[in-house]
């Protein structure tokens, strides 16, 4: 199996990018007859969207982010827009257009926020129709409960070849992210460790705190920041602020 290629510029190559790149390579190079659907799942903030957007750039895949108000027709139209194809006709016609393009191009289709599809039998069956009609590669992305929820649709669930759990952010991930969100400032491991602890696994929270550290370092004209230098300054945890006593 070939090694995953470097992802797009200005995206830190954190663990979840490696995971999704390896899974996509397995799906794209699978033997004929094997299922071709992958599902990446995990708690909000773990960098799933960043990873899959980067993968779409790497593989020239078709990337759509599902919305709660979308119907079956809207989803098909949005996919065709990503394919630079003008939608034509009824839902069956649109489905045929999507399937033909995926089959011809051999590019993956990535559907982010797939949880919204699980609210409707019709949307779930439509995505399965896309897979069956194209025999292509689909990567579906959503929250941590997707594997359990999909059991309701056995014909869909059985076509999933790769289940990809999004990993919580690590200290090594934080080091890689710091070069983007805190450039030209050397953050000591003791402060990075504290940032990771407070993030509770969220890549997003780490990025917010790295930005805060960068802003503070720039104000102080510092090229490095340690836990002791940071002192009692606040770090973002995602918790709502506590009500002050009157």
pLDDT tens digits for 168-201? 999 999 999 999 999 999 999 999 999 999 999 9
For residue 82, tell me if it sits in a domain: yes
Quick one: what percent of the chain has pLDDT higher than 90? Answer: 82
Domain count, the chain: 2
* CA 192/CA 87 separation, integer angstroms: 48
* CA 147/CA 142 separation, integer angstroms: 10
Q: Which pLDDT band holds residue 1 (cuts at 50, 70, 90)?
A: very low
For residue 224, pLDDT over 70 is answered with yes
Whether residue 125 is found in the same domain as residue 39: yes
Residue 2 or 126, more confident: 126
DSSP string covering the chain, please?
Answer: -PPPPP--TT----HHHHHHHHHHHHHHTPPTTS--EEEEE--TTSSHHHHHHHHHHHHT-EEEE--TT--HHHHHHHHHHHTT----SSHHHHHHHHHHHHHHH---EEEESGGGGGG-HHHHHHHHHHHHHH---EEEEE-TTHHHHGGGSHHHHTTEEEEEEPPPP-HHHHHHHHHHHSTT-EE-HHHHHHHHHHHTT-HHHHHHHHHHHHHHHHHHT-SEE-HHHHTT-----SPPPPPPP-
For residue 240, tell me if it sits in a domain: no
Domain enclosing residue 181, as ranges: 171-230
Whether residue 194 is found in the same domain as residue 152: no
For residue 238, tell me if it sits in a domain: no
For residue 246, tell me if it sits in a domain: no
Which residue's entry shows tokens 């590019």?
Answer: 107
Whether residue 77 is found in the same domain as residue 184: no
pLDDT in tens, 5-62: 333 345 678 888 889 999 999 999 999 889 999 999 999 889 898 889 889 999 999 9
Whether residue 154 is found in the same domain as residue 179: no
Which residue's entry shows tokens 């070939």?
Answer: 2
């Amino acid at each position: 199996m070939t090694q995953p290629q470097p992802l797009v510029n200005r995206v830190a190559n954190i663990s979840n990018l490696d995971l999704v790149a390896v899974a996509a390579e397995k799906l794209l190079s699978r033997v004929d007859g094997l299922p071709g659907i992958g599902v990446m799942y995990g708690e909000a903030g773990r960098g799933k969207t960043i990873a899959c957007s980067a993968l779409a750039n790497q593989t020239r895949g078709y990337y759509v982010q599902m919305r709660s108000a979308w119907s079956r027709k809207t989803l098909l139209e949005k996919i065709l827009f990503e394919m630079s194809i003008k939608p034509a006709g009824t839902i069956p016609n649109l489905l045929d257009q999507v399937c033909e393009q995926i089959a011809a191009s051999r590019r993956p289709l990535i559907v982010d926020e797939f949880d919204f599809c699980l609210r409707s039998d019709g949307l779930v069956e439509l995505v399965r129709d896309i897979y069956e009609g194209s025999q292509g590669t689909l990567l579906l992305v959503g929250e941590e409960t997707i594997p359990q929820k999909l059991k309701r649709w056995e014909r869909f669930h059985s076509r999933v070849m790769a289940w990809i759990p999004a990993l919580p952010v690590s200290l090594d991930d934080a080091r890689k992210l710091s070069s983007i969100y805190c450039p030209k400032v050397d953050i000591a491991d003791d402060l990075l460790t504290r940032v990771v602890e407070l993030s509770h696994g969220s890549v997003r929270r780490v990025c917010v705190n790295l930005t805060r550290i960068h802003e503070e370092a720039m104000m102080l004209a510092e090229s490095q920041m340690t836990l002791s230098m940071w002192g009692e300054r606040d770090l973002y945890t995602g918790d709502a602020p506590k009500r002050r006593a009157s």
